[in-house]
Protein backbone atom coordinates (compact mmCIF):
# COMPACT_ATOMS: atom_id res chain seq x y z
CA UNK A 1 0.00 0.00 0.00
CA UNK A 2 1.58 3.32 -1.02
CA UNK A 3 -1.15 5.72 0.14
CA UNK A 4 -0.21 7.53 3.33
CA UNK A 5 -2.09 6.71 6.53
CA UNK A 6 -2.95 9.13 9.34
CA UNK A 7 -4.06 7.85 12.73
CA UNK A 8 -6.23 10.59 14.28
CA UNK A 9 -7.44 10.23 17.86
CA UNK A 10 -10.69 11.88 18.92
CA UNK A 11 -11.73 11.77 15.27
CA UNK A 12 -15.45 11.34 15.86
CA UNK A 13 -16.20 15.06 16.01
CA UNK A 14 -14.82 18.58 16.30
CA UNK A 15 -11.21 19.31 15.35
CA UNK A 16 -10.38 15.59 14.96
CA UNK A 17 -13.19 15.00 12.46
CA UNK A 18 -12.24 18.10 10.45
CA UNK A 19 -8.63 16.86 10.40
CA UNK A 20 -9.68 13.40 9.21
CA UNK A 21 -11.71 15.01 6.39
CA UNK A 22 -8.81 17.21 5.32
CA UNK A 23 -6.34 14.29 5.25
CA UNK A 24 -8.75 12.44 2.97
CA UNK A 25 -9.06 15.51 0.71
CA UNK A 26 -5.26 15.42 0.46
CA UNK A 27 -5.33 11.77 -0.64
CA UNK A 28 -4.50 10.11 2.69
CA UNK A 29 -6.23 7.14 4.33
CA UNK A 30 -7.42 7.73 7.89
CA UNK A 31 -7.58 5.52 10.96
CA UNK A 32 -10.24 7.33 12.99
CA UNK A 33 -9.94 6.45 16.67
CA UNK A 34 -12.48 7.47 19.30
CA UNK A 35 -14.07 6.05 22.44
CA UNK A 36 -17.52 7.49 21.63
CA UNK A 37 -18.94 4.55 19.68
CA UNK A 38 -22.07 6.28 18.40
CA UNK A 39 -20.32 9.48 17.35
CA UNK A 40 -17.62 7.41 15.63
CA UNK A 41 -20.26 5.55 13.63
CA UNK A 42 -21.80 8.85 12.49
CA UNK A 43 -18.37 10.23 11.62
CA UNK A 44 -17.45 7.20 9.52
CA UNK A 45 -20.64 7.66 7.53
CA UNK A 46 -19.46 11.14 6.53
CA UNK A 47 -15.80 10.15 5.97
CA UNK A 48 -16.52 7.38 3.45
CA UNK A 49 -14.29 4.61 2.09
CA UNK A 50 -10.94 6.20 2.90
CA UNK A 51 -11.47 5.92 6.67
CA UNK A 52 -11.82 3.04 9.11
CA UNK A 53 -12.99 3.36 12.70
CA UNK A 54 -11.19 2.17 15.81
CA UNK A 55 -13.22 2.18 18.99
CA UNK A 56 -10.61 2.63 21.71
CA UNK A 57 -9.85 4.80 24.74
CA UNK A 58 -6.42 6.49 24.58
CA UNK A 59 -6.29 6.82 28.38
CA UNK A 60 -6.44 3.06 28.85
CA UNK A 61 -3.06 1.31 28.37
CA UNK A 62 -4.76 -1.99 27.50
CA UNK A 63 -6.79 -0.29 24.78
CA UNK A 64 -3.72 1.42 23.36
CA UNK A 65 -1.85 -1.90 23.31
CA UNK A 66 -4.64 -3.40 21.17
CA UNK A 67 -5.31 -0.34 19.02
CA UNK A 68 -1.97 -0.11 17.23
CA UNK A 69 -1.84 -3.74 15.97
CA UNK A 70 -5.47 -3.30 14.91
CA UNK A 71 -4.66 -0.18 12.85
CA UNK A 72 -1.58 -1.86 11.33
CA UNK A 73 -3.57 -5.00 10.47
CA UNK A 74 -6.04 -2.79 8.57
CA UNK A 75 -3.65 -0.35 6.89
CA UNK A 76 -0.12 -1.85 7.13
CA UNK A 77 1.53 1.49 7.94
CA UNK A 78 1.20 4.74 9.90
CA UNK A 79 2.70 7.92 8.42
CA UNK A 80 1.22 10.39 10.89
CA UNK A 81 -0.17 10.21 14.40
CA UNK A 82 -2.40 13.11 15.46
CA UNK A 83 -2.92 13.03 19.22
CA UNK A 84 -6.09 15.10 19.28
CA UNK A 85 -8.37 13.30 21.78
CA UNK A 86 -8.90 15.59 24.74
CA UNK A 87 -11.28 16.42 27.54
CA UNK A 88 -12.00 19.76 29.22
CA UNK A 89 -13.16 19.90 32.81
CA UNK A 90 -12.78 23.36 34.33
CA UNK A 91 -12.99 24.26 38.02
CA UNK A 92 -11.33 26.21 40.80
CA UNK A 93 -8.22 24.71 42.40
CA UNK A 94 -10.02 23.94 45.66
CA UNK A 95 -12.79 22.11 43.81
CA UNK A 96 -10.48 20.08 41.61
CA UNK A 97 -10.38 16.82 43.48
CA UNK A 98 -7.95 14.10 42.53
CA UNK A 99 -10.56 12.25 40.45
CA UNK A 100 -11.16 15.33 38.28
CA UNK A 101 -7.40 15.96 37.98
CA UNK A 102 -6.83 12.36 36.88
CA UNK A 103 -9.80 12.43 34.44
CA UNK A 104 -8.15 15.32 32.62
CA UNK A 105 -4.58 14.01 32.84
CA UNK A 106 -5.37 10.46 31.79
CA UNK A 107 -6.69 11.51 28.39
CA UNK A 108 -4.87 14.78 27.70
CA UNK A 109 -1.40 13.72 28.87
CA UNK A 110 -1.25 9.95 29.49
CA UNK A 111 -3.10 9.33 26.21
CA UNK A 112 -0.57 11.32 24.19
CA UNK A 113 2.34 9.53 25.86
CA UNK A 114 0.82 6.06 25.45
CA UNK A 115 -0.31 6.47 21.83
CA UNK A 116 2.99 7.98 20.72
CA UNK A 117 5.03 5.26 22.42
CA UNK A 118 2.87 2.53 20.87
CA UNK A 119 3.12 4.09 17.39
CA UNK A 120 6.87 4.77 17.46
CA UNK A 121 7.95 1.51 15.77
CA UNK A 122 5.50 2.08 12.91
CA UNK A 123 6.55 5.73 12.60
CA UNK A 124 10.23 4.70 12.42
CA UNK A 125 9.35 2.54 9.39
CA UNK A 126 7.72 5.45 7.54
CA UNK A 127 9.90 8.28 8.95
CA UNK A 128 6.56 9.67 9.99
CA UNK A 129 5.24 12.59 12.00
CA UNK A 130 3.54 13.17 15.33
CA UNK A 131 1.29 16.19 15.89
CA UNK A 132 0.07 16.69 19.44
CA UNK A 133 -2.88 18.97 20.10
CA UNK A 134 -2.31 21.14 23.16
CA UNK A 135 -4.09 24.48 23.65
CA UNK A 136 -3.56 28.16 24.26
CA UNK A 137 -4.39 27.13 27.84
CA UNK A 138 -1.02 25.35 27.84
CA UNK A 139 0.74 28.57 26.81
CA UNK A 140 -1.01 31.14 29.00
CA UNK A 141 -2.53 30.48 32.41
CA UNK A 142 -6.08 31.39 33.24
CA UNK A 143 -8.56 30.71 35.99
CA UNK A 144 -10.35 27.34 36.33
CA UNK A 145 -7.81 25.47 34.20
CA UNK A 146 -5.53 24.04 36.88
CA UNK A 147 -5.89 20.52 35.44
CA UNK A 148 -6.62 21.34 31.79
CA UNK A 149 -3.96 24.03 31.41
CA UNK A 150 -1.34 21.97 33.23
CA UNK A 151 -2.09 18.92 31.08
CA UNK A 152 -1.69 20.99 27.91
CA UNK A 153 1.55 22.63 29.09
CA UNK A 154 2.87 19.13 29.71
CA UNK A 155 1.88 18.11 26.17
CA UNK A 156 3.99 20.99 24.84
CA UNK A 157 7.05 19.72 26.75
CA UNK A 158 6.28 16.10 25.79
CA UNK A 159 6.34 17.17 22.13
CA UNK A 160 9.81 18.67 22.57
CA UNK A 161 11.01 15.49 24.29
CA UNK A 162 9.68 13.45 21.38
CA UNK A 163 11.32 15.73 18.81
CA UNK A 164 14.66 15.55 20.64
CA UNK A 165 14.68 11.80 20.96
CA UNK A 166 12.95 10.61 17.81
CA UNK A 167 14.69 12.95 15.37
CA UNK A 168 17.50 10.46 14.77
CA UNK A 169 14.85 8.08 13.43
CA UNK A 170 13.57 10.87 11.14
CA UNK A 171 10.33 11.10 13.10
CA UNK A 172 9.17 14.71 13.45
CA UNK A 173 7.06 15.84 16.43
CA UNK A 174 5.21 19.15 16.57
CA UNK A 175 2.47 20.67 18.68
CA UNK A 176 -0.56 22.74 17.68
CA UNK A 177 -2.14 25.03 20.26
CA UNK A 178 -5.64 25.92 19.10
CA UNK A 179 -7.42 29.02 20.29
CA UNK A 180 -11.13 28.75 21.03
CA UNK A 181 -13.24 26.79 18.52
CA UNK A 182 -16.99 26.24 18.92
CA UNK A 183 -16.87 22.47 19.41
CA UNK A 184 -18.82 20.37 21.90
CA UNK A 185 -15.78 20.37 24.22
CA UNK A 186 -15.47 24.17 24.25
CA UNK A 187 -19.15 24.97 24.42
CA UNK A 188 -19.51 22.79 27.53
CA UNK A 189 -17.06 25.02 29.44
CA UNK A 190 -17.33 28.43 27.73
CA UNK A 191 -19.94 30.64 29.38
CA UNK A 192 -21.05 33.84 27.61
CA UNK A 193 -18.58 35.75 29.83
CA UNK A 194 -15.73 33.52 28.66
CA UNK A 195 -16.79 33.92 25.02
CA UNK A 196 -16.83 37.73 25.38
CA UNK A 197 -13.45 37.70 27.14
CA UNK A 198 -11.91 35.63 24.34
CA UNK A 199 -13.26 37.99 21.69
CA UNK A 200 -11.72 40.92 23.58
CA UNK A 201 -8.34 39.20 23.98
CA UNK A 202 -7.96 37.88 20.43
CA UNK A 203 -6.61 40.32 17.80
CA UNK A 204 -8.66 38.62 15.07
CA UNK A 205 -11.63 39.17 17.40
CA UNK A 206 -13.35 35.83 16.80
CA UNK A 207 -13.27 32.09 17.47
CA UNK A 208 -11.41 29.84 15.04
CA UNK A 209 -13.00 27.06 13.01
CA UNK A 210 -12.25 23.34 13.08
CA UNK A 211 -11.04 23.65 9.47
CA UNK A 212 -8.53 26.38 10.35
CA UNK A 213 -6.94 24.17 13.01
CA UNK A 214 -7.00 21.11 10.73
CA UNK A 215 -5.08 23.01 8.03
CA UNK A 216 -2.14 23.55 10.42
CA UNK A 217 -2.19 19.93 11.60
CA UNK A 218 -2.23 18.47 8.09
CA UNK A 219 0.54 20.87 6.99
CA UNK A 220 2.76 19.72 9.88
CA UNK A 221 2.20 16.07 8.90
CA UNK A 222 3.00 16.75 5.25
CA UNK A 223 6.28 16.75 3.32
CA UNK A 224 5.96 20.54 3.14
CA UNK A 225 6.99 20.59 6.82
CA UNK A 226 9.85 18.11 6.33
CA UNK A 227 12.39 20.29 8.22
CA UNK A 228 10.00 21.37 11.00
CA UNK A 229 10.20 19.52 14.30
CA UNK A 230 9.96 20.37 17.98
CA UNK A 231 7.78 23.40 17.23
CA UNK A 232 4.76 24.76 19.04
CA UNK A 233 2.37 26.53 16.68
CA UNK A 234 -0.50 28.53 18.11
CA UNK A 235 -3.45 28.66 15.72
CA UNK A 236 -5.21 31.17 17.90
CA UNK A 237 -6.05 34.43 16.10
CA UNK A 238 -3.08 36.08 17.82
CA UNK A 239 -4.13 35.38 21.42
CA UNK A 240 -0.75 34.16 22.64
CA UNK A 241 1.29 37.00 21.19
CA UNK A 242 -0.63 39.89 22.69
CA UNK A 243 -0.71 41.66 26.03
CA UNK A 244 -3.27 43.69 27.92
CA UNK A 245 -5.33 46.64 26.79
CA UNK A 246 -6.38 45.37 23.39
CA UNK A 247 -10.10 46.27 23.49
CA UNK A 248 -9.39 49.82 24.72
CA UNK A 249 -6.83 50.38 21.96
CA UNK A 250 -8.92 49.06 19.06
CA UNK A 251 -9.87 51.62 16.41
CA UNK A 252 -13.37 50.25 15.91
Binding mask 112-141 for ligand NAD (x = CB under 6 A): ---------------------x-x------
Question: For residue 120, which of 180, 88, 179, 161 has the smallest C-alpha distance?
Answer: 161
Shortest gap between Cβ of 225 and ligand NAD (angstroms)?
19
Nearest distance from C-beta of residue 187 to ligand NAD, angstroms = 8
Residue 141's CB: how many other CB atoms inside 10 A? Answer: 11
Single out the residue of 166, 179, 174, 187 nearest to residue 124, CA to CA.
Answer: 166
Closest by CA to 9, choosing from 43, 47, 35, 28, is 35
- Least Å distance, CB 113 to ligand NAD, is 13
CB contact at 8 A, 172 and 222: no
Q: Does 178 bind ligand NAD (CB under 6 A)?
A: yes
Closer by beta carbon to ligand NAD, 34 or else 79: 34
| The one catalytic residue among 148, 198, 207, 227 | 148
107 binds ligand NAD (CB under 6 A): yes
Q: Do 54 and 76 touch, CB atoms closer than 8 A?
A: no
Chain centroid to Cα 42, Å, comes to: 20
The verdict on whether 148 is a catalytic residue reads: yes
Residues in binding contact with ligand NAD, number by CB under 6 A: 30
Give the one residue of 24, 156, 185, 228 binding ligand NAD; rule: CB under 6 A: 185
Is the distance from CB of 126 to CB of 79 less than 8 angstroms?
yes
Residues 6 or more apart from 125 whose CB is under 8 A from it? 77
Interatomic CA distance for residues 183 and 178, integer angstroms: 12
Q: Using CB under 6 A, which residues numbered 20 to 59 contact ligand NAD?
A: 34-36, 39, 57-59
Rg, the chain, Cα only:
18
Rule CB under 6 A: choose which of 53, 128, 149, 180 binds ligand NAD. Answer: 180
By beta-carbon proximity to ligand NAD, the closer residue of 39 and 246 is: 39
C-beta closer to ligand NAD: residue 2 or 192: 192
- What is the set of active-site residues? 148
Residues that bind ligand NAD (CB under 6 A): 9-10, 12-16, 34-36, 39, 57-59, 84-88, 107, 111, 133, 135, 178, 180-181, 183-186
Amino acid sequence: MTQKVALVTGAARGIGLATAKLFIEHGWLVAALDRDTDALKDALATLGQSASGFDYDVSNPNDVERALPDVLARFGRIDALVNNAGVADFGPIEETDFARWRRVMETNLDGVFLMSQAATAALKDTKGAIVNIASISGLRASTLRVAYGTSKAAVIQLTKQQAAELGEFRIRANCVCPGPVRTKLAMAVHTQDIIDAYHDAIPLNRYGSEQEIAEVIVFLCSEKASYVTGQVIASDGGFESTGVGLPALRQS
